[in-house]
Chains A and B, each alone.
Chain A
């Protein structure tokens, strides 16, 4: 059976997007890996969350889906397309991420299997650079557009303020120029003293109005995903089953995650392409599910540090770490 499934993957990947007439593969069940043999689970979880999560550059928050996800898969035969899309939806529902159930929903997660991923990203850089994620200039855009992994993801995020105004995170925002005259503060006798004059003029060339609470615990601003693109290169995925790939894609599509450059101590599907991992999991593990559930449980408006703390707390609770 396993051999047959491997052939299936080989065929559909070698076809490079051509439709093949075979039955849809069975979904891979989630791996129930018990976190044993790790001395300090809490420490391992803290390290995992610290290295895997990426706060957005504009709001400094961990982004997640606020609008219902609507995945679209392309470049595989129809049954595999259906399988991957369905699996991403299933995992989203399982971890508490919102899912758009409408049949003809507007896709906000694009999963593309292509034999020429770099050419695709070059085209994205020219025609839809916002898809690459926040960047200040073309050098950063070029860096973001580099394809490094066999499966790689790009996140376009948006900032959602206290009053629900949503602005896509982009360097060129078309804001308005603003000048602020501020009194100069000077250090005096161990404290800050505000001098009556002179003043300093602060020029903000691209000012944006964001409504915030003013609280230190949470400013009322959150980061949402606006569009996620996952690109996979079939020729580099010949050794993996479609279920494994769908699970890996789901994790990338539901949380902005750094793809690890070395094997993670905790069992995670992210180890699939990490160099030096001898037996990476073939499905989402309970660590991955605990991570995703925690991301969709955390307070959206608290600080990134607070969000990481909440994720660690929730993961520790699910994985039974001793405090």
Chain B
């Protein structure tokens, strides 16, 4: 019993630096805080897809630069896109229906 408590304490101590280094997570990183610290945005739904993109991790200085320029990272994490303003934030749009010759309908849902 005592042995396992010591083991747990040691493991807890070893895990501390790892916890300290794990990046912060935010749905809308605004670049505040330590400019050299990393903040990750959780995966976002890819446009016209049922799948989500990757988690996007950037330095706070990089998020701040994006916000200053009114920009954001796309859901696939590959490019810079204009920032979606608060009015339409949290909307997830999908193309529904449609076939080879007929167009589908865009359906948006608040998240």
- On A, residues with C-beta under 8 Å from B are 119, 122-123, 125-127, 129, 137-139, 141-142
B61 near A138 (CB under 8 angstroms)? yes
**Can you list 23 pairs linking A and B with CB atoms under 8 Å apart?**
A119-B69, A122-B65, A122-B69, A125-B62, A125-B65, A126-B58, A126-B62, A126-B65, A126-B66, A126-B73, A126-B80, A127-B79, A127-B80, A129-B62, A137-B35, A137-B36, A138-B35, A138-B60, A138-B61, A138-B62, A139-B61, A141-B61, A142-B65
Q: In the bound complex, how far is the Cα of B80 from the Cα of A119, in angstroms?
A: 11
Query: Contact partner of A139 among B35, B65, B73, B80, CB < 8 A?
Result: B35
Q: A123-B80, A126-B58, A126-B62 are in contact. Are A138 and B36 (CB under 8 A)?
A: yes
Q: In the bound complex, how far is the Cα of B59 from the Cα of A138, in angstroms?
A: 8
Q: In the bound complex, how far is the Cα of B35 from the Cα of A115, in angstroms?
A: 29
What's the minimum C-beta distance from A80 to chain B, rounded to whole angstroms?
Answer: 27
Contact residues in A for B66 (Cβ distance below 8 Å): 126
Contact residues in B for A125 (Cβ distance below 8 Å): 62, 65
Q: In the bound complex, how far is the Cα of B36 from the Cα of A122, in angstroms?
A: 16
Contact residues in A for B73 (Cβ distance below 8 Å): 126
What's the minimum C-beta distance from A50 to chain B, rounded to whole angstroms?
Answer: 33
Among A123, A126, A129, max chain B CB count under 10 A is at A126
Q: In the bound complex, how far is the Cα of B72 from the Cα of A294, in angstroms?
A: 45
Q: In the bound complex, how far is the Cα of B69 from the Cα of A143, in angstroms?
A: 17
Q: In the bound complex, how far is the Cα of B36 from the Cα of A139, in angstroms?
A: 9
Interface residues as binary, B69-88 with A (CB distance below 8 Å gives 1, 0 otherwise): 10001000001100000000
Q: In the bound complex, how far is the Cα of B13 from the Cα of A22, in angstroms?
A: 70
Q: In the bound complex, how far is the Cα of B59 from the Cα of A129, in angstroms?
A: 11
Q: In the bound complex, how far is the Cα of B26 from the Cα of A287, in angstroms?
A: 55
Residue of A nearest to B58 (CB): A126
What's the minimum C-beta distance from A45 to chain B, rounded to whole angstroms?
Answer: 41
9 further interface pairs, Cβ-Cβ under 8 Å (given A125-B65, A141-B61)? A122-B65, A126-B58, A126-B62, A126-B66, A127-B79, A138-B35, A138-B60, A138-B62, A139-B35
